[in-house]
């Protein structure tokens, strides 16, 4: 009888414990870094990097030793926001408009707002540039950051937006985003909060301290790591991670000062494999590969008194697991109208142990279109089958590699020939998964919304275009500095798909560069409306000016924007950087549209 009573009491306590976790609705601070490797923390045996705060967070929390992200950043972010592998969401790229999260997806910010949370994001979004794909339209109350995969300026960053509006900023960007996060968590409110801090460091360009007021710190950090024997590239990356660690310390200190430490779940993770090469903890591969070094990332989770300090979880887990984990913490059910690939990590976090979570974890990465043959992998708790070929190469069975991760985590010994049945089992499961997550999904840039009330000025970027002609080409030098060049022959053109939400008269501007020896005419058209322009030369072909070229009366609905060579003399008509459309009035009524 005593044993039966004990069992019943234990079961009741377990059930009550789960309810208490949900009822408490802890704050959630989620720090995500960009391109920091599994090995880029001191506690992985890296004796040269200095990350005392990250190391302490691992000691005070739970360390997931086999936690996986996607090989590159936007796919990981789609999975984090939705709990679904990115291919289900329509996202398939990091550029060219393929880095847009499907409009019908439900984000974790939307779920947490349902549960009564304040929500803020400070840093890199990379899931949609245009309204209504921007974070302030996807469940976040507050957004300061950038839409792109990376920015060019880390000191005095000039590609930032605040809730959809461009802003100018000073300070090193990691410090700046951390300041904004601290301001958010200091807000006097009875609500629990979700603070998402997706820092863009240590993504390239690998720079620290390039401004007048920041160079001294940057030089000192780089010199510190050069003295440790690192080459300059690696010293820059380590310096950026060093600054991240300092800012993580500022966050944790402020939580403690506010008395919020005991009521806040803190998570630290990186978005894909690392780019550094100085020390790799024995792992193979880097970012963009499906080897362990390209997809295994650190995840440390701390909730004092509720998650066991110093625990290590060896079960393989995935980035898609955070969505259901956050939902369970907040006491809100995951959506039941779609497939959720993730599984809550709370059972593992509460006990601090677990040898099994996902039976399989999957990876695939091919920039231009989802591909099941070229760069892919699948792992169970012991075995991993993969194919990794270079760009432009076609993967085949001869490229398959099978590794025993339990005994060979560095993926050095291919045992494909010795374990053909294991390889076949894993390949068949990967193909089943790939067909499932891509079923019925179209992979192409979403039509650019034009005339959205929150975005009267729409910036049309070259990367979203398709281009046609013998000479015309797309050139990437960085977000906002990509161009379409080589306009030489009449008829050569570039096209953009539009979704015109409100018809009307639109002012048209272009950002371009043009040498004085080049002559010609460019036609811009949307549907039946068109205009022609021949903008004046700029000082050089790398100096861009923005000029007004006229207006277009655009009808609502699906449309195509075309830029086309009418005539050209010289080397090229121009280098087109961007097209801007600003709604002025309705074509039918002449009523002015909002510019707010």
- Structural domains in the chain, CATH included, are 28-364 (3.40.720.10), 377-438 (3.30.1120.10), 448-585 (2.60.120.260)
Place of tokens 């193979």: 284
How many percent of the chain have pLDDT more than 90? 92
The length of the chain in residues reads 596
The reported pLDDT for the residue numbered 188 is 85
Closest CA to 466 of 401, 403, 560, 545: 560
Contact, 312 vs 349, CB < 8 A?
Answer: no
The reported pLDDT for the residue numbered 22 is 53
Q: Which tokens belong to 135?
A: 């974070």
Closest CA to 409 of 282, 560, 309: 282
d(CA 129, CA 457): 13
d(CA 451, CA 559): 13
Question: 312 exposed, middle or buried (CB, 10 Å; 0-12, 13-18, 19+)?
Answer: middle
The reported pLDDT for the residue numbered 392 is 82
- Find the Cα–Cα–Cα–Cα dihedral 483, 487, 490, 496, rounded to 10°: -10
How many Cβ atoms are within 10 Å of 393's Cβ, its own excluded? 11
The reported pLDDT for the residue numbered 197 is 99
User: ω before 319 within 30° of 0 (cis)?
Assistant: no
The reported pLDDT for the residue numbered 6 is 32
Residue 107 is classified by DSSP as: P
The per-residue pLDDT for range 271-295, each reduced to its tens digit, is 999 999 999 999 999 999 999 999 9
The reported pLDDT for the residue numbered 19 is 47
d(CA 326, CA 109): 10
Phi, psi of 341 (to 5 degrees): -80, -25
Contact, 443 vs 92, CB < 8 A?
Answer: yes
* Three-class SS state of 232: helix
pTM of the model: 0.94
The reported pLDDT for the residue numbered 596 is 35
How many percent of the chain have pLDDT more than 70? 94
Q: How many helices (H) and strands (E) does the chain have?
A: 11, 29
Beta strand pairing call for 317-318 and 67-68: parallel
Beta strand pairing call for 27-33 and 193-198: parallel
The reported pLDDT for the residue numbered 23 is 60
Catalytically active residues are: 73, 126
What is the DSSP secondary-structure string of 531-545?
A: EEE-PPP-SSTT--E
What is the DSSP secondary-structure string of 372-396?
A: SSSEEEEE-SSEEEEEE--TTPPP-
- Find the Cα–Cα–Cα–Cα dihedral 51, 52, 53, 57, rounded to 10°: 100
> Along the 596 residues of the chain, how does pLDDT read in single tens digits?
333 333 343 334 334 444 455 568 999 999 999 999 999 999 999 999 999 999 999 999 999 999 999 999 999 999 999 999 999 999 999 999 999 999 999 999 999 999 999 999 999 999 999 999 999 999 999 999 999 999 999 999 999 999 999 999 999 999 999 999 999 999 988 999 999 999 999 999 999 999 999 999 999 999 999 999 999 999 999 999 999 999 999 999 999 999 999 999 999 999 999 999 999 999 999 999 999 999 999 999 999 999 999 999 999 999 999 999 999 999 999 999 999 999 999 999 999 999 999 999 999 999 889 999 999 999 999 999 999 998 888 999 999 999 999 999 999 999 999 999 999 999 999 999 999 999 999 999 999 999 999 999 999 999 999 999 999 999 999 999 999 999 999 999 999 999 999 999 999 999 999 999 999 999 999 999 999 999 999 999 999 999 999 999 999 999 999 999 999 999 999 999 999 999 997 654 445 444 33
Closest CA to 49 of 272, 221, 256: 221
Cα distances from 325 to residues 224, 317, 322, 337, in angstroms, run: 39, 12, 5, 18
d(CA 534, CA 224): 53
The per-residue pLDDT for range 193-233, each reduced to its tens digit, is 999 999 999 999 999 999 999 999 999 999 999 999 999 99
Cα distances from 278 to residues 233, 238, 383, 425, 525, in angstroms, run: 10, 10, 27, 36, 52
């Amino acid at each position: 009888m005593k044993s039966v009573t004990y069992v019943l009491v234990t079961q009741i306590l377990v059930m009550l414990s789960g309810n208490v976790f949900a009822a408490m609705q802890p704050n959630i601070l989620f720090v995500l870094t960009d391109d920091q490797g599994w090995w880029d923390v001191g506690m992985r045996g890296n004796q040269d990097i200095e990350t005392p705060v990250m190391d302490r967070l691992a000691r005070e929390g739970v360390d997931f030793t086999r936690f996986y992200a996607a090989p590159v950043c936007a796919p990981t972010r789609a999975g984090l926001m939705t709990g679904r592998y990115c291919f289900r969401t329509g996202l398939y790229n990091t550029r060219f408009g393929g880095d847009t999260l499907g409009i019908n997806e439900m984000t974790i910010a939307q779920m947490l707002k349902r549960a009564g949370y304040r929500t803020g994001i400070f840093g890199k979004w990379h899931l949609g540039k245009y309204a209504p794909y921007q974070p302030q339209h996807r469940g976040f109350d507050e957004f300061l950051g950038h839409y792109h995969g990376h920015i060019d300026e880390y000191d005095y960053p000039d590609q930032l937006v605040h809730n959809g509006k461009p802003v100018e900023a000073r300070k090193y960007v990691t410090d700046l985003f951390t300041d904004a996060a601290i301001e958010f968590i200091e807000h006097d409110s009875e609500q629990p909060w979700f603070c998402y801090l997706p820092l863009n460091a240590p993504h390239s360009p690998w720079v620290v301290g390039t401004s007048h007021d920041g160079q001294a710190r940057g030089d000192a950090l780089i010199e510190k790591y050069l003295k440790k024997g690192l080459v300059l590239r690696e010293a820059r990356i380590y310096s950026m991670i060093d600054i991240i660690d300092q800012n993580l310390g500022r966050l944790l200190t402020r939580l403690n000062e506010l008395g919020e430490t005991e009521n806040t779940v803190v998570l630290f993770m990186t978005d894909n494999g690392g780019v550094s090469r100085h020390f790799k903890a024995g792992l193979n591969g880097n970012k963009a590969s499906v080897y362990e070094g390209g997809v295994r990332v650190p995840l440390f989770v701390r909730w004092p008194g509720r998650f066991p300090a110093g625990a290590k979880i060896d079960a393989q887990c995935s980035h898609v697991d955070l969505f259901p984990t956050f939902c369970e913490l907040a006491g809100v059910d995951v959506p039941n109208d779609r497939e959720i690939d993730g599984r809550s990590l709370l059972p593992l976090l509460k006990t601090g142990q677990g040898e099994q979570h996902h039976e399989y974890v999957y990876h695939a990465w091919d920039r231009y279109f989802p591909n099941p043959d070229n760069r892919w992998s699948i792992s169970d708790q012991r075995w991993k089958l993969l194919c990794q070929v270079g760009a432009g190469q076609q993967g085949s069975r001869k490229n398959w590699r099978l590794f025993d991760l339990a005994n060979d985590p560095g993926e050095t010994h291919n045992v494909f020939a010795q374990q053909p049945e294991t390889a076949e089992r894993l390949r068949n499961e990967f193909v089943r998964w790939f067909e499932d997550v891509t079923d019925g999904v179209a992979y192409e840039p979403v039509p650019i919304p034009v005339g959205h009330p929150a975005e009267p000025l729409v910036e049309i970027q070259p990367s979203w275009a398709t281009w046609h002609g013998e000479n015309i080409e797309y050139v990437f030098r960085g977000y906002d500095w990509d161009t379409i060049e080589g306009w030489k022959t009449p008829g050569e053109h570039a096209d953009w798909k539009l979704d015109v939400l409100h018809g009307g008269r639109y002012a048209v501007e272009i950002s371009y560069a043009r040498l004085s020896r080049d002559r010609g005419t460019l036609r811009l058209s949307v549907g039946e409306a068109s205009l022609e322009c021949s903008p004046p030369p700029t000082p050089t072909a790398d100096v861009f000016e923005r000029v007004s070229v006229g207006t277009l009366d655009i009808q609502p609905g699906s449309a195509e924007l075309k830029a086309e060579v009418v005539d050209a003399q010289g080397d090229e008509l121009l280098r087109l950087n961007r097209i801007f459309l600003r709604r002025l009035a309705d074509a039918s009524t002449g009523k002015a549209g909002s510019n707010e």
